[in-house]
Structure 1
Amino acid sequence: MNVSAYLRRIGLSAVDHPDRQFLSRLQENHLLHIPFENLDISLHRPIRLSLPPVYEKVVERGRGGFCYELNGLFHWLLRECGFHTTLISARVREADGSFGPEFDHLAVLVLLETPYVVDVGFGDCCRHPLPLTGDEVEDISGRYRVASKTDGEGYALQKKTEGHWVTEYRFTTLPYELQAFTSMCQHHQTSPASTFTQKKMCTIATDDGRITLTQDFLTITRDGKKQKHPVTSDRQFHDELLRYFGIKL
């Protein structure tokens, strides 16, 4: 695995000082260049939690992935760039307001002057590091913060929605190795209850919004305005996938 090639994949040319500014640039560039997608799952191609094949897929073949792949690989890059980081487990909020099990989602904790949570594997989420202090961070996708849970057990990553703070996922700062996520990674590839097995999807951040492709629609968001176009065939899906994401399956 090669740091320079990874940096080129996300539009950067060199390693900088491991501070918040460089961390923010790494995170945003990653989101602008590497899509969040579940295409291998829809094709029944097994995803192994091993960094070399993930690196080959994402960096060398120009693909994307889901949280275990993208945040696992990003964690490696951050360490190679001189950051002190750990992998953390998160429980994602379900549609009914409940939360998934432990290891439902993988994110990265970066230890600078204060700890920050960074995430390049959650789809439409904050594009910059979020401090655990509760300070708000705003970007084109919305306003975010990390709040301490009232029960004293961990934190909640929240997004302001219609004037209210809504929790996206809960997490603690306990450090884990990548292999601790193996069982839930397998679950999300195979279980009918997982959102990742229900429909194919590919989404990427853009400077002015986001582009999302599913088997049903192509949605282009620019400056908060959405244009939704029906996808009516597999051929159209593959054409749009190549056109907007540069991916040929």
Structure 2
Amino acid sequence: MESNVIAYLNRIGIEGPAAPTLDMLSRLQYAHLHHIPYENLDVMNGIPISLEIERLFDKIVTRGRGGYCFELNALFGWLLDRLGYRVTNYFGRFWRDEEVVPSKRRHHILQVEIDGEKYIVDVGAGAAAPRWPLMLVTDTPQVQQDESYRLMRDSIYGWMLEEKKGEEWRGIYSFTEEPTLAIDFETTSYWCSTSPDSKFKKASMVAIRTESGRNTIAGDEFRIFKAESFNSFVPDSQEQYKLSLKQYFGIEL
């Protein structure tokens, strides 16, 4: 394997050969979500976002940072391609926490085909990201530990990924099976990272899975979710903020 692939695998705690199998794909996605945070801190700090693989590799692997969907899924798709997977990029419309129809497609999704079966792979959906790949089949609940997902067909928006909350199914994002080129994400990523109307410019959003739950930041509030407990706090100083960022997300700005 090339040195950059080995470095990426080391970044997410995967050792040894990584043959392009479904089992390995599941391991890679799970490990990625537990080692690399979803975060928009560069956007909030006015630092330009680049989707060039070399720049993404430097930020996420070399400097130990995270990113948002256009960064995380672009680099993860690159890794999967290098490992021998058949990867197709899709553009999605993100519905989670939206009260009206989202005005634009602003989510990068990966589709991986293995032995004739298609799977949705996503390490860039923040707290909504499934632990493991989801088979692209209609109206079939797919249980992942304490979480359940399903993919439905919508006559207008195509595939709709839903998550179960209590007894209710709620949409996460929709997409169609139209292959998307890397350059197609550039304009939307630029809008998301620079427009004052973009939600990514309004508040800090950080998330990472942990073995006992997940850690998130919403605005200034750190939220620590565990199986049997929940804790939240707002750092009382910039120094405390930096220490907490390192402790709970492994991020050093």
> Which of the five TM-score ranges fits, normalised by the shorter chain?
over 0.9
Tell me the CA shift for residue 246 of structure 1. Answer: 2.4
CA 1:126–1:224: 2 relative to 1, 3 Å: farther
The answer to whether structure 1 residue 33 and structure 2 residue 35 are counterparts is yes
Q: Report which stretch shifted further, 223-232 or 104-113.
A: 223-232
The answer to whether structure 1 residue 181 and structure 2 residue 212 are counterparts is no
Query: What is residue 213 of structure 1 aligned with on the other side?
Result: 217
Report the residue type matching 1:231 in the other structure: P
For residues 88-103 of structure 1, what are the structure 2 equivalents within 5 Å?
A: 88-93=90-95, 95-102=98-105
Tell me the CA shift for residue 14 of structure 1. Answer: 2.6
Q: Report which stretch shifted further, 200-209 or 61-70.
A: 200-209
Query: What is residue 200 of structure 1 aligned with on the other side?
Result: 204
Tell me the CA shift for residue 187 of structure 1. Answer: 0.8
CA contact (8 A) 1:215 1:237 kept: no
Tell me the CA shift for residue 74 of structure 1. Answer: 0.4
Q: What is the CA deviation profile of residues 111-168 of structure 1, one whole-angstrom value per residue up to 9, with x for unaligned ones?
A: 123111110001112111111113322235621111122x175200110012111111
Query: What is residue 122 of structure 2 aligned with on the other side?
Result: 119
CA contact (8 A) 1:86 1:176 kept: yes
Report the residue type matching 1:122 in the other structure: A
Instruction: Find the residue that maps to 2:233 and give its secondary structure.
Output: strand
Query: What is residue 164 of structure 1 aligned with on the other side?
Result: 168
CA contact (8 A) 2:204 2:220 kept: no
CA distance in structure 2 between the partners assigned to 1:173 and 1:226 by the alignment: 38
Runs of 4+ deviating beyond 6 Å: none
Paired residues in the alignment total 247
Query: What is residue 239 of structure 2 aligned with on the other side?
Result: 235
Q: Report which stretch shifted further, 228-237 or 114-123.
A: 228-237
Q: TM-score, normalised by structure 2?
A: 0.92
Q: TM-score, normalised by structure 1?
A: 0.94
Unaligned runs of at least 5 residues, structure 2: none
Q: What is the CA deviation profile of residues 41-68 of structure 1, one whole-angstrom value per residue up to 9, with x for unaligned ones?
A: 1111101121100000000000000000
CA contact (8 A) 1:88 1:172 kept: yes
Q: What is the CA deviation profile of residues 9-31 of structure 1, one whole-angstrom value per residue up to 9, with x for unaligned ones?
A: 00001333312111110000000
Query: What is residue 133 of structure 2 aligned with on the other side?
Result: 129
The answer to whether structure 1 residue 73 and structure 2 residue 78 are counterparts is no
Percent of pairs identical after alignment?
Answer: 36
